[in-house]
Structure 1
Amino acid sequence: MTNLFSSFDPSTSTSISLNWISTTVGIIAVPVLYWLVPSRFMALWKTITFVLHKEFKTLLGPFSLGSSLIFISLFTIIVYNNFLGLFPYIFTSTSHLTLTLTLALPLWVSFMIFGWINNTTHMLAHLVPQGTPPVLMPFMVCIETISNLIRPGTLAVRLAANMIAGHLLLTLLGNTGSLISTKIFPILIITQIALLVLESAVAIIQSYVFAVLSTLYSSEVT
């Protein structure tokens, strides 16, 4: 390891960047699920999908079947890559802005195009919150416009920063293992296990936050 951030570098020693393969390796297991007898894992995943659909349906309204499937798929790919990055020597693709911006930017652009073409009056009304004094209206329009423009960036940076922060902490503590005494070593192991459990929770929470915020942004343009 040349430096602390080398584990988040997607380039490898070869001419082809092999680390990005971890993002799409889950597609190999998808066709198998169509031929196997439904297992407990599949029953659990169907339950999670149904709960997410009900959650997104509440945010999107009655005509939400196609839209909720898009956001459930978004949640699935993010949580899969988050968990995959917890395994040793596997590149966490969601810690790279290349992937997170690729997910956030097209969604936001499509929401904006749809909203401004079909609901122009509704989009203009969002720039001035209800009850704003007339004196503050020009400032509120500027503030709301800026907050709207930085939405894809905040989505991407939030996910990438949370993935990097926990992995860096695990890496820092792991590198000190050879430097500490044997008396403190059990404390280090317990701390690493606790951080791993915390990272597992963060992997789910950040995927859910990304999907829910994308759902909220889409519900504002309709």
Structure 2
Amino acid sequence: MKNVSIVIKDREKLSVVGLNGAGKTTFIKLLTRLYEPTEGEVLLNGVNIREYDYKEYMKLLSVVFQDFKLMAFSIKENIALNSYETSKDEDIEKTLKEAGLEKDILKLPKGVNTHIYKTFEEDGIEFSGGQSQKIAISRALYKDAPIVVLDEPTAALDPIAEFEVYSKFKEIVGEKTAIYISHRLSSCKLCDRIAVFHNGEIIELGTHEELIKEQGSQYESMYMAQSQYYV
């Protein structure tokens, strides 16, 4: 990353796009304190994020990375995590519904108490890639943090299904600040601004309407190449 300077406003929906290796995930990992900047700083309300208590800072973020993991426990435990013992089934079911997975889960004999994988339970379920991603999204929704980050969590979905997830997610996120990363650009129209990364830098920044008008720009080229998939 180099020469990156951007202010993300409270409640803003920002889409981060770019080709492979452009720096999108590095940008997110800096925001989420998985990486520490070697120069410059990341500020939250004008304060360097290093000055915040780490655990308290983590409470502000609900993140779904592209390499998310599900554990060989129940669906409920995978979503509620540390608050599993005090969580209510109806709250878990609500987040599954918001993620578009409610019908798949509730038709199972044990519902949200169904185990994932057969590691500890013979009747455990091996979910598809798309279903697993929706469980990971449900986990982020259940945490109910003020900042939501989605780092290509819908990569296993087809472009139309991805657009439907993002459309629904915009409603769910509501007044929260949200950052979306995707190789596909179906989320861009749903966001307030788009940051286009290339070689670790932001080379274009603006709304979909602004960037699509710039003929020959990287965003316009990427969008037009993928436009056959959009609804």
What TM-score does the superposition give when structure 2 sets the normalisation length? Answer: 0.27
Larger Rg belongs to: 1
The answer to which structure has the higher helix fraction is 1
What TM-score does the superposition give when structure 1 sets the normalisation length? Answer: 0.28
